[in-house]
Amino acid sequence: MEHPPIPAPVPRPRKSGSGCLLSIVYLSFFAFIVVFVVTAIVAPWGFFMGGRFHIYPQWTGWGKLHSKIAGDYVLYVTISPSTGGRGGRGGGGPHVRGNAVLCTPRGERYKLRVGGDFERNPGINLQGKTAVLYAYNYSYFSGSHAPSLELRGKWNNPDLVLDDQGSINRAFDPGGALVTNSHKRPYMQEVVPLTLHEGSRADFDAACAAIAKH
C-alpha cells in the first residue's frame, strides 16, 4: 500500500528590510513622545533653555576660557533635564545632565560627563536664574576624574555666564598638560570667566582649531 506523499514545509515569509526600518522609526517616535510628555510635566523649563523654545528639551553651547596661568581652552556643552534623579551634587533645584568636550592649547580633546543644578522653582523662563555645572572625565581603568571642572553663574539668555571656580588651573599646567594630583594645587589660584554661547559643534571645532595654532 502506497503512502501519500509528505507535503513540503511551507516557507515562512521573511520580514522585509523596510518592515524592520518602520519598526525602528515607530519605536524612535514613541521614545520621543515619552521624553516629550514626561519633560513637559516635570521640567517644562527644559524646552526654553536659552530663552527660546526647543522642540527637543536640550541646550547646546560653547565658550572660551582664557587663563593667564594655564592658557586658552574651549568648552562645548550639551545639557538636558535630568528627570530620573540628581544631575549634579544635590543643589536642590532642577537637575540637568549631558556631555561636554574640552579642547586644550595642545589640541587635545577630553570627552566629559556633565551634571548640574539650576535655581529652585525656575518656572519656564530661566533668565537671571543661577546655574551650577560639573564637567568631569572618567576612566574605567584608572578611576580618575581628571580633568574636572566646576562652573557657576547664571543665565543671561541666550547665554550661560559662568566662572570656573579656579578649576582650570587645578586641572592643567601652563600649556595644557593634564594635572593628575590636582588635590595638591591651591584650590583657587585664578578664577576664569566663561560665557557659553548657544551654538553648534562646528563653531566649537573652529574655535578649537584656532587655539591649537597659537
> How many domains does the structure of the chain reveal?
1
Percentage of residues in the chain having pLDDT higher than 70: 72
Chain centroid, CA 94 distance in Å = 16
pLDDT at 33: 67
pLDDT at 187: 76
Q: Per-residue pLDDT tens for 97-138?
A: 999 999 999 989 999 999 999 998 888 999 999 999 999 997
Please give the backbone phi and psi of residue 144, each rounded to the nearest 5 degrees, phi first: -80, 145
State how far the Cα of 212 lies from the Cα of 214, in Å rounded to an integer. Answer: 6
Q: 192 lies in which domain range?
A: 44-213
With respect to residue 2, please indicate whether it lies within any of the assigned structural domains: no
Q: Give the CATH number for residue 72.
A: 2.40.128
With respect to residue 34, please indicate whether it lies within any of the assigned structural domains: no
Residue 49 confidence class, pLDDT cut points 50, 70, 90? very high
Answer whether 129's CB lies under 8 Å from 103's CB: no
With respect to residue 158, please indicate whether it lies within any of the assigned structural domains: yes
With respect to residue 9, please indicate whether it lies within any of the assigned structural domains: no
With respect to residue 49, please indicate whether it lies within any of the assigned structural domains: yes
pLDDT at 116: 96
With respect to residue 25, please indicate whether it lies within any of the assigned structural domains: no
Percentage of residues in the chain having pLDDT higher than 90: 55
With respect to residue 83, please indicate whether it lies within any of the assigned structural domains: yes
Q: Is the pTM of this model over 0.75?
A: yes
Q: Per-residue pLDDT tens for 22-42?
A: 667 656 555 556 666 666 676
Please give the backbone phi and psi of residue 212, each rounded to the nearest 5 degrees, phi first: -70, -20
With respect to residue 19, please indicate whether it lies within any of the assigned structural domains: no
